[in-house]
Amino acid sequence: MNRNPQLNKHGELQHLLTTEGLPVSILLHILDTAESFAGVTEREVKKIPLLRGKSVFNLFFESSTRTRTTFEIAAKRLSADVINLNIAVSAQSKGETLLDTVNNLSAMHADMFVVRHSQSGAAHMMASHVRPDIHVINAGDGRHAHPTQALLDMFTIRRYKKDFHNLRVAIVGDILHSRVARSQIHALTTLGVPEVRVIAPKTLLPSRVERLGVHIYHDITQGMKDIDVIIMLRLQNERMLGASLPSTEEYFKYYGLTQEKLTLAKQDAIVMHPGPMNRGVEIDSAVADGKQSVILPQVTFGIAVRMAVMSILAGN
């Protein structure tokens, strides 16, 4: 019996809801497929006809410029028809439930839903209610998961470091509120990274985070030692209830990535950030724009990775 709701009866990807529980073969298939799409952006004609005649609905119940735009570009490069719904001023504000919205759009012959929602589990619920020929991609749900961001981060790491099996990776900052961090940790460990560190104050760490197989550091100067890849996370003030931090100035002093702190890592360490960045809070501009930063390539790679996910789903 297939217990993973993301896979069909043949063990192929039916939906992309989380990196947790996905076999390494599927993660590598997505990364390898993305590699084949990476060159499309360099062409004069950037379209390929893999999703011609398919309808992709972007359902963003939470605002996001970068993720929504890269999904839209990816779908259009695959020649799909893309429908962007401004949910905040449409059905949801009139009291329609999520499943009513999905059922109505399914009746309009949707082939794929890309959904971002403030509630954890929203994408899973959609996936469990759509017809078998419809695919759901989770573009971020609550504090739970953001699988395509994690996959584009894995693609970036592989591009610059070639292999996962000899790396030390540090994820720094607001782990508690980050769906990206959870997805990254699951992907990194599945792909064979031997040491994943989380560096954060105690107030920004989830309880029992060590169960994810990570090493915990509260002191960035210790946590940065011998690190190959540094992933900085945005301080998510909008999700914080109560005083998790004394001040952003103090946070930057102890946990913000400066040139000085970067020298504690390996000389060829790369610096990543899923964005949007708070300069002077999580990361100094000199580092964000410096030679070790791969933050802008991450955005570019995101298009190829999302093309890969959509093309694989459409083919299964």
- Known binding-site residue numbers: 66-67, 94, 116, 146, 149, 179, 234, 275-276
- Look at the block and give the residue holding tokens 């499309």: 40
Q: Which residues are annotated as a binding site for carbamoyl phosphate?
A: 66-67, 116, 146, 149, 275-276
Neighbours of 29 (CB within 10 A): 15
Beta bridge partners, 7, equal 13
Tell me which residue of 174, 127, 205 sits closest to 274, measured CA to CA: 174
Q: Look up residue 70 and give its amino acid.
A: T
Neighbours of 215 (CB within 10 A): 13
The number of angstroms, rounded, from the C-alpha of 260 to the middle of its chain's C-alpha atoms is 28
How many Å apart are CA 262 and CA 51, to the nearest integer? 43
Q: Is the separation of the CB atoms in 80 and 310 below 8 Å?
A: yes
How many Å apart are CA 62 and CA 65, to the nearest integer? 10
How many Å apart are CA 145 and CA 97, to the nearest integer? 22
Q: Which residues are annotated as a binding site for L-aspartate?
A: 94, 179, 234
End-to-end CA distance of the chain: 18
